[in-house]
Amino acid sequence: MNHLFTPLLPKDPLGGPVLVLAAHPDDEVIGAGAMLAWHAQQGHEVTVVHLTDGAQGDPNSRENDICAVRRAEGKEALRRLGLGEPQHGLQHWDLPDGQLPEHLDAFVPRLRELFTTVAPRTLYSFWFGEAHRDHRAVARATALASDALPADCRCLLYGVNHVVPGGALFDTSDTYATKYEALKAYASQNAYIDLPGMSEHRDRAATVNLDIGGVLYGEMFADLLPAELPRASELAVDLHRMLLRDS
C-alpha cells in the first residue's frame, strides 16, 4: 500500500484557450481563482461562464436587485484577477439560481456547443462530489457534454462546498493575494459569509503534506481527461448515495 499524497504539479503545461464554468458568480474564484490569475499573467485566452442569475444569493433581501449586484461583483472579481473585459470573455446564461438540475436537458446541448466553439486546452469545472445541487448539475452536464471537448483537454475539477479528494495540486503562493482581493469584491456574499477568510484557511491547508519551502498556498483539483468524466461522475454519485444514505 503506497502513499496517495496529491502531487504538486507544474503549471507550465496548462495552456489556453481556457474555459471556466461556474454555477454562480464567485464559485470559480473560490475554487480556482489563484490559477485563473496565473492564466491571466500568461496571457492565455480565458472564457468564463456564469450559468445562473445568482438570484438566491441574498436570503435577507439586503439588495434591491441581487442579480445585477452579483453580475457586477462577478465582473469586478475577474477584473481583479486580471481577466477584464473585453480581451477575455465573460458569459451570463442567466438560468434560475437553485434550479439547474431542472434545466439540465436544456443546457447540456448549449454546453456541448460551447465546448466545440472554444475547444479548450484547459477546462475548469466542478468536481462531482459537490453539495450544492447547481454545482452537481454543472458537473454532470460537463460529463454529458464531454464528447465535444478536445480529447487531450486538461479537465481540472474544483470544489467549493467540499475539498476535492486529490488528483493535482498547484502552487499558488505567488497569486493567492490576488485571489484574496478578488474575493473581497463579493460584498453581497461577504455580508453572509467570509469568503476571503475561509478561502485563506482552505488554500493554506491544501499544502499540509508539503515540506517545500516557500509553498504556502495551493489549489487542488481532480485532474481528468474528457473520456474519464462520465465514469468519474458515476462513481461520485454512487459514493454520495452510500455516505448520505440517499436512494
Query: For residues 182 and 26, what is the distance between their CA atoms, to the nearest angstrom?
Result: 9
Beta-bridge partner residues of 223: 156
CATH match of 18-244 with 3.40.50.10320: yes
Q: Could you tell me if 57 and 15 are in contact, meaning their C-beta atoms sit under 8 angstroms apart?
A: no
CA dihedral for 88, 89, 92, 98, sign (positive or negative): negative
What is the pLDDT averaged over residues 20-46? 97
Where are the chain's structural domains? Answer: 18-244
CB atoms within 10 A of CB 246: 8
Q: What is the pLDDT of residue 211?
A: 85
Q: Vertex 77, ends 170 and 26: CA angle to 5°?
A: 70
Q: How confident is the model at residue 247 (pLDDT cuts 50, 70, 90)?
A: low
What is the pLDDT averaged over residues 220-241? 94
pLDDT tens digits for 5-26? 899 999 999 999 999 999 999 9
Q: How confident is the model at residue 245 (pLDDT cuts 50, 70, 90)?
A: confident
Q: What is the pLDDT of residue 239?
A: 87
CA dihedral for 161, 153, 14, 47, sign (positive or negative): negative
DSSP tally for the chain: helices H, then strands E: 8, 7
pTM value?
A: 0.95
Q: How confident is the model at residue 86 (pLDDT cuts 50, 70, 90)?
A: very low
Q: What is the pLDDT of residue 130?
A: 94
In the predicted model, is pLDDT for residue 87 greater than 80?
no
pLDDT tens digits for 148-204? 999 999 999 999 999 898 899 999 999 999 999 999 999 999 999 999 999 999 999
pLDDT tens digits for 128-148? 999 999 999 999 999 999 999
Q: How confident is the model at residue 234 (pLDDT cuts 50, 70, 90)?
A: very high
